[in-house]
Chains A and B, each alone.
Chain A
C-alpha cells in the first residue's frame, strides 16, 4: 500500500499544480488576498484610541486651568479642536462629530483648588461609539488623577511638608506587548483567520469541481486511492498557503512591526498543523456536497464566523458565557491562535504550547480520516432524472 501510494500521488500533485497555475483568479485569491486582508483589517481593526477630538470650555480662565488644558494639549491621545466660552456650544460640535469629548472647567476652579475644596471638572463623552468612549474616559481620568496628585503635593509642599509621599503607588508594567498595541494582538489572529478561510474555501472547491465535471468517476475507476487523491490535492495547497502565510508574517513585521520572538521552526510546525486541519475541513465539505455553490457557502459559514467570533481573535474567550466558551473548544483556530500568540509575542517554547499543537494534530487527523473514508465509500447518488408516475 505504501509503495503503491507513492506511485499515483505524483500525477495528482502535478495535475493540481497545473490546474492552480491556469486558474489565475484562485491563485490571486490564495496568495494576495491574505496580504490584502491583513492591510485592511490591520488598519480598520485598530482598538488603540488616539487623537480623540476634544473641546474645552474654560470658564475659569486662570493660570491653573490653562495649565490643566495644556495637559490635554500635549498628549497624543487627544486633539484639542476648540476652546469654547459657553457650554451651549458643545452640543452642535458633538452632534457633527467634530469632537467626541468635551471638558468643562468651572468658574473659580483655581480658587477652589487652592482652598482645598475639590472642584469638579465636568467631562462630556460621545457615547454613540461606546468602545472609544470608554477608552477616552479612562485616559481623561488618568490625566485628571495625575494632575490632582501634582496639585496636592504642591499644596502640601507649600505648607512646609517638604518630603511627602503618597501612601501607595501602583507601578504597572505590561508584559509581552508593553505598549498594549492592537497590532501585536491582531496580526497573529489575522494569520489564523486568513489561513483558515482561504485554505478551507479553496480546497472545498477542489473535489466538488471534480464531481460536477464527472472527472471524479474517472478517478475512481483508475488506480488512484482515496488517500492518494486527498494527499495529492492537499500538498499543492499546503505549499501555496504556507507561502501566503509567510507573506502575512513578513507584512506584519514590515508594516505593523510585529516580530517573532519565539522559535521559527515551532511557528512553522504550528502553521503546517493548522493548515492541514483547515485543508481537511475543506476536503470534507467538498466530499459531502454536490455543487460548488453549496460547498462555498458551507466552507464560508464554518470558517468565517467561528474564526472571527469564537477563536479569541477579537473577543476574549474568558469573557464569554460558559456555553459559548464550551463551543470554542471545537474551533481549531482557538488553539492555533493561542499557540501563535504565545510564539510570536511571548517567545514561548514547546513546553508552553504542546497541548495546543496536540489538539491541532488531532483535528487534522480527524478531518483527513473522515474525508478519506467518505471518498472511499463512494457516492450513493440517486439518478438525476427520476421518472415519476404520471
Chain B
C-alpha cells in the first residue's frame, strides 16, 4: 500500500505544440481534501483527466490508490469516483433511473444499488423526487445527484472537476459540507476550482498556472510563508488615483485594489505607514486608515503568478 493516495511525478501533457500540463509533481495524503486551483485553461481538467485514465500523459508518471495510471488504468478506474465539470447525468432519465444506471455501470449487485439509491437520495436531499426527470432539477440538486452517482461504488478517492461552477452560494456551501463528510470517512477528495474562497476549505492546495504548479501548501502556510513583506490595507476615497501615485514609488513593491481599499506591499511596516501618509497627503488624498493585514489566498496567488511571469518571460499569456 502506497503511503500517499495520489503520487504524481513530472506529469506532462502536450497537444501538438501546446503544453497543457508541464512537468507537474505532487502528493496527496489519504483522506485529505486536495484543492487544485487555477484559471480556466490552466491545466486543471487535463491533469484530472490523466489521473482518471481518460487521457494518456505525454510523459511522467502517476499512481492513484497505489496503481500506475499507465500500466493499470482499469484498476485505477475501480478505485476512483469522477465527477466532470458538466454534472454529467442523463437529463432525460429520472433521478432514480440515473442512480440505477450508474450503479449497474459500476457492476454493483442489485441489493447494493437499492441501498446506495436510498443513501444518495438522503444525501442529496432528493427524497420524494425519485421520479422527477433530471432536467427539471435545479443546478444545486443536479450537482449533489452527480456527486452521489460518482461515489455510488464507494471509491477510496474522488475526483471532482469544478464541481461548483454555476451553482448558487448556498448550494456551494452545502456541497462543501458533503465534501467534508467524505473526507471524514477517510475518502481522499481531489477537487479543482477557480473560486478562491473554496480553497480555504481544502487541507492542501496547489496553484496551477499555464500548466505549471506555482505554489502549494495548506491555506495557512501559503498565507504566512509566501509573502514575507507586510501588506498594508489603505482606505481612501480616491483609491484608483492613490494606486497610480503609489505604484511609481520605489519603496512600494506591489499594489492591487480589493473592493474599496488598496493593498500595497512594502519592505517595512512602520516605515511604509509613514511613507504612504506623507505621499498621499502631498497629493491632497485623504487616508482614512492603514492596517497591516494577513494576505488573502488571492494576494498569494496574484503574487505568485506575477512572480512566475516575470521569471518565465514576456511570451507567456496573462491570466
Interface residues of chain A, those whose CB is within 8 Å of chain B, are 4, 7-8, 10-12, 14-15, 18-19, 22-23, 213-215, 217-224, 378-383, 385-390
CA distance A284 to B280 in the complex (A): 69
B125 within 8 A of A: no
Query: Given A15-B93, A383-B46 in contact, is the A223-B107 Cβ separation under 8 Å?
Result: yes
Contact B85–A214 (Cβ < 8 Å): yes
Write the chain B residue with the least CB distance to A225: B74
Chain B CB within 10 A, most for which of A11, A23, A382: A11
Contact B84–A217 (Cβ < 8 Å): yes
Chain B nearest CB, measured from A28 CB (Å): 16
CB<8 Å pairs between A and B, sample of 11: A11-B103, A11-B104, A23-B92, A213-B90, A218-B88, A220-B77, A378-B54, A380-B15, A383-B45, A385-B41, A386-B18
Write the chain B residue with the least CB distance to A382: B15
CA distance A220 to B105 in the complex (A): 10
Question: Which of A8, A10, A218 is close to B82, meaning CB atoms less than 8 Å apart?
Answer: A218
Question: Which of B18, B53, B54, B88 is close to A382, meaning CB atoms less than 8 Å apart?
Answer: B18
B40 within 8 A of A: yes
CA distance A69 to B101 in the complex (A): 75
Query: Given A7-B107, A218-B102, A224-B105 in contact, is the A387-B86 Cβ separation under 8 Å?
Result: no
Query: CB-CB < 8 A to A380: which residues of B?
Result: 15, 55-56
Query: CB-CB < 8 A to A10: which residues of B?
Result: 104
CA distance A4 to B97 in the complex (A): 22
CA distance A19 to B133 in the complex (A): 11
Chain B nearest CB, measured from A45 CB (Å): 37
Chain B nearest CB, measured from A290 CB (Å): 14
Contact A222–B106 (Cβ < 8 Å): yes
Contact A389–B54 (Cβ < 8 Å): no
CA distance A219 to B92 in the complex (A): 16
Chain A CB within 10 A, most for which of B104, B107, B149, B317: B104
Query: Given A217-B82, A218-B82, A383-B41 in contact, is the A223-B88 Cβ separation under 8 Å?
Result: no
Question: Which of A19, A378, A385, A387 is close to B55, meaning CB atoms less than 8 Å apart?
Answer: A378
Contact B41–A223 (Cβ < 8 Å): no
Contact A223–B77 (Cβ < 8 Å): yes
Contact A15–B101 (Cβ < 8 Å): yes
Interface positions, chain B 89-128, Cβ under 8 Å from A, are 89-93, 97, 100-107
CA distance A304 to B55 in the complex (A): 35
CA distance A220 to B74 in the complex (A): 10
Query: Given A215-B90, A218-B88, A378-B55 in contact, is the A385-B101 Cβ separation under 8 Å?
Result: no
Query: CB-CB < 8 A to B84: which residues of A?
Result: 214, 217-218
- The B contact surface, by secondary structure, is loop
CA distance A372 to B315 in the complex (A): 42
Contact A221–B317 (Cβ < 8 Å): no
Query: CB-CB < 8 A to A386: which residues of B?
Result: 18, 41
Contact A390–B317 (Cβ < 8 Å): yes
Interface positions, chain B 292-319, Cβ under 8 Å from A, are 315-318
Query: Given A11-B105, A218-B88 in contact, is the A387-B317 Cβ separation under 8 Å?
Result: yes
4 more A-B contacts (CB under 8 A) besides A217-B82, A218-B88, A224-B105? A215-B88, A218-B84, A220-B54, A380-B55
Query: CB-CB < 8 A to A7: which residues of B?
Result: 107
Contact B54–A379 (Cβ < 8 Å): yes
Query: Given A221-B52, A221-B80, A383-B20 in contact, is the A214-B88 Cβ separation under 8 Å?
Result: yes
Query: CB-CB < 8 A to B88: which residues of A?
Result: 213-215, 217-218
B210 within 8 A of A: yes
Write the chain A residue with the least CB distance to B92: A22
Query: Given A11-B101, A214-B85, A214-B86 in contact, is the A388-B92 Cβ separation under 8 Å?
Result: no
Chain B nearest CB, measured from A6 CB (Å): 11
Query: CB-CB < 8 A to A382: which residues of B?
Result: 15-16, 18, 20
Chain A nearest CB, measured from B209 CB (Å): 10
B78 within 8 A of A: yes
Contact B77–A222 (Cβ < 8 Å): yes
Query: CB-CB < 8 A to B78: which residues of A?
Result: 223
Query: CB-CB < 8 A to A213: which residues of B?
Result: 86, 88, 90-91
Query: CB-CB < 8 A to A11: which residues of B?
Result: 100-101, 103-105
Contact A8–B93 (Cβ < 8 Å): no
Query: CB-CB < 8 A to B55: which residues of A?
Result: 378-381
Chain B nearest CB, measured from A230 CB (Å): 15
Write the chain B residue with the least CB distance to A224: B105
CA distance A19 to B150 in the complex (A): 21
Contact A223–B91 (Cβ < 8 Å): no
Interface positions, chain B 54-98, Cβ under 8 Å from A, are 54-56, 77-78, 80-82, 84-93, 97
Query: CB-CB < 8 A to A383: which residues of B?
Result: 15, 20, 41, 45-46
CA distance A224 to B46 in the complex (A): 22
Query: CB-CB < 8 A to A387: which residues of B?
Result: 41, 210, 317
Query: CB-CB < 8 A to B86: which residues of A?
Result: 213-214
Question: Which of A23, A221, A224, A388 is close to B53, meaning CB atoms less than 8 Å apart?
Answer: A221
CA distance A18 to B85 in the complex (A): 25
Query: Given A217-B54, A218-B84, A383-B15 in contact, is the A390-B90 Cβ separation under 8 Å?
Result: no
CA distance A192 to B297 in the complex (A): 65
CA distance A221 to B86 in the complex (A): 15
Chain B nearest CB, measured from A198 CB (Å): 20
Question: Which of B53, B102, B106, B318 is close to A390, meaning CB atoms less than 8 Å apart?
Answer: B318
Write the chain A residue with the least CB distance to B104: A11
Contact B92–A222 (Cβ < 8 Å): no
CA distance A390 to B56 in the complex (A): 29
